[in-house]
Structure 1
Amino acid sequence: MNIRTVDLNLFLVFQAIYVTRNVTKAGEHLNMTQSAVSNALKRLRERFDDPLFLRTQVGMVPTPLADALIDLVEEGLHKLTQAIDKTQRFDPATTDRLFRIAINDIGQLVLLPGFLNPARAAAPFARFETVGASSAEEARALLLSGKVDIAIGSWLPMGPGFQVQVLCEETFVALIGRQHSMQSDAFTYKEYLQSQHVTYRPSGASDAALQDTLYQQGILAERNVVLTMAHALGAADVAATSDLVLSLPMRLAGTILRGRSDLRSVRLPFHVGPFPIWQQWHDRFNADPANLWLRELAFQAFLKAPLPA
């Protein structure tokens, strides 16, 4: 296939159908008629010699070839958008750019409450997407490929070719339910070890700081963990409705406590860290006005993140 003979707008149609699973909705998204989208899909099918999408009761289901193409198509469209943006002055008020941030689930909980409203106020037509990254290697690959604009987490600096900024210094606190027998604002070692705990497996390096501190204190094996959750979501509700102790990063605790009266924070009998939370980006975006704008929003969101009382 010779790319010089291909209408690149067809790939916008491909992406829209893949996302919406519906020809009519894809047309609405692209401001095209249903017949125009159907015609574009016909041309795509002829180009790739594959049906690409099959009509079923649950919508337009992609074929294996379409599943294999989507990442390449989205990466190409993203890079074309960046190329176009380079020739234009960045104006948050008018941009319709899609910004992507690599971040794990607990980082997302801290970032979004202080990020989204200022972002939407300044850039009402922009779109935002968080992308999961379970390791520094995965985040680095996403930045290298241009699939994300910035990466936020407790991963170590990614080295030559990347820029890094400290968003905050973190430590750990404990959350317990209001009905918990613990009455003071700080655990003693004895109280902490005699308590029962709930933990989760975060996709990041922050939990390693807690585990290392417990190991250094010689109490890693003594902590009585009765529930280990695959994800952070719901762990606070478990602590609020039981006698289990949840140890987690301070800003995450502050975010969870906001608006809740069934939980309170308690100081740990040891100090974790402090360890930094970074935002990182590739050198080629260092002077990019849009990337600069995004980084400042993320910095302010972490700066203003609530801390537990």
Structure 2
Amino acid sequence: MESYKIPGLPKIIPVIKHILKKPKIGSIKYNRWTPQEITTLLTAYKEYGKNWNIISQQCLPTRPPSTIRRKYIHLEKIKARPTSEHNTWTTEDDETLRMATHKYGVGKWSEIRKKFFSDRSSAQVQERWKVLSKTKFGRWSPEEDKRLQELAKQYKEDYRVISEILKRPVHSIYVRYKRLQTPKWTIEELDKLRDLLKEYGKDWERIEQMMPGRNGWEIKKVADTLVCVNPFINKRMWSKTEKELIKKGVEMHGNNWVRVSQVVGTRSHRQCQRYWQIEQGKEKTGKMTNDN
């Protein structure tokens, strides 16, 4: 029986063998780096810089230039980590970094490194700025309040610089500083405000004239927040009309409780918020019981 011959197959077989055959690497290394090689790489970089061809020819002949470059970048990234031993920063360094970023801008890490941190890399400076620029939220401590007042006097209420130092948003720093500057309300002032609200109603301009040292924004805020001061706020159980009005207010304004309280008229924004949260919780618990 004659064997079936494919035309042109003897010519293709050697080509396929040549393609599948792995080339011999020779003396070039592609395995892990030894500690001696890493030290030679760092010393060679100090001498030759980023000339990877010369480093591979004279110092590391068993490593190609591309692998040397990748290894150096990897080592720089390791050094730039906040947990690294090579990336220790003092409080003075942090202050200089904040002032430098305020002067030259965020992203100009090479310029900042050349002028202020010559013994560090730009990656280290960038990683440190990421740690310093994390914003804080939540309550202010008494130490932060004192620090805020000192910095406001030092930098003449430049809230951007203060936000970089205190790691808080600019708006929260502005609001907190204004709140610290305004004196606390005394019992006499609250009694006077209650009497003025009974007499003049919500005529805020006239009430502001009758209360020197207080602006309209402060008076409105106290009247809205403190139920004991505002005589127009209802302190009893919610009526049917109030319940209908709060539903309309939520449909119109959503979770904007100040607007919702304006729709209701006889309740503060905090009362509206608490009532609505309680009602939503009751609906959820009712659904859960029905499902079970």
TM-score (norm 2): 0.23
Q: From the CA coordinates, give the structure whose radius of gyration is larger.
A: 2
TM-score (norm 1): 0.22
1 or 2 for the larger relative contact order (CA 8 Å, sep ≥6)?
Answer: 1
Q: Comparing both structures, which one devotes a greater share of its residues to strand? A: 1
